[in-house]
Amino acid sequence: MEEIVLKHPMIEHKISILRDEKTGTKEFRELINEIGMILCYEALKDAPLHEIDIKTPITETVGKQIDENDYAFVPILRAGMGMVDGVLRLMPNAKIGHIGLFRNEETLEPVEYYCKLPKNIENKTAIILDPMLATGGSGSAAIEMLKKRGVKKIKFLSVISAPVGLERIKKDHPDVELYTAYVDKELNENGYIVPGLGDAGDRIFGTK
């Protein structure tokens, strides 16, 4: 599995603001989108280009473009929705799917309750969005759901990851490329990433 951790002063700066419990909903939401856009930029570094003819105000030339129809963003509900606006700034014509999972309180395993994906998803590169990769259970389940629907190329974007979550994805899906802005040290007894951000969904949508 290719695991890319962004290392940049601006990422450190933005993550520190996200961590602060005094950061309000508006700023938190904006920062999640900004980091999502940066992660998407990195994840698209290998995007194939095709040539197009262009007429500039000066002359005719040949340009290069990405075929946005080849990509689909798939947020894991609900926190993953907080990254959608950011990635769409880079690729506004990409299709959007949605995956909904909840945790069975007895088995602690993720259970699918919703899945709506773009047409011909099996022919696209699917980019899963989830701000927090904690145990990796939901992330692994989401990847498996896409694979069962024929998707062959999958990338996973997370803002904060825990080592156990990274290891779970690496073990279950070594063919998936994973991009994260920061790796924290551990999970606490309640499964929250430490030091983490708290509940990303609650902070994005103001339900904390």
pLDDT, tens digit, 9 for 90 and up, residues 104-152: 767 767 888 999 999 999 999 999 999 999 999 999 999 999 999 999 9
Burial class for 30, CB neighbours closer than 10 Å (0-12, 13-18, 19+): middle
- Which pLDDT does position 191 carry in this prediction? 82
- Which pLDDT does position 29 carry in this prediction? 95
Q: Is 202 a catalytic residue?
A: yes
Q: Is 103 a catalytic residue?
A: yes
Of 70, 85, 172, 199, the catalytic one is 199
- Which pLDDT does position 117 carry in this prediction? 96
Burial class for 78, CB neighbours closer than 10 Å (0-12, 13-18, 19+): middle
Model confidence pLDDT, tens digit, residues 64-117: 999 999 999 999 998 999 999 999 999 999 999 999 988 776 776 788 899 999
Q: What is the pTM of this model?
A: 0.92
Of 46, 56, 59, 107, the catalytic one is 107
- Which pLDDT does position 1 carry in this prediction? 67
Domain locations in the chain?
Answer: 3-205
Model confidence pLDDT, tens digit, residues 162-184: 999 999 999 999 999 999 999 99
- Which pLDDT does position 47 carry in this prediction? 95
Q: Is 199 a catalytic residue?
A: yes
- Which pLDDT does position 108 carry in this prediction? 64
Could you tell me the fold of the domain covering 3-205?
Answer: Rossmann fold (3.40.50)
Q: For every residue of 89-142, which 3-state class applies, written as one string?
A: HHCCCCEECEEEEEECCCCCCEEEEEEECCCCHHHCEEEEECCEECCCHHHHHH
Helices (H), ranges, the chain: 9-19, 25-43, 84-90, 137-148, 163-172, 200-205
Burial class for 68, CB neighbours closer than 10 Å (0-12, 13-18, 19+): middle
Q: How far apart are CA 206 and CA 60, in angstroms?
A: 50
Of 103, 130, 175, 207, the catalytic one is 103
Q: Is 172 a catalytic residue?
A: no
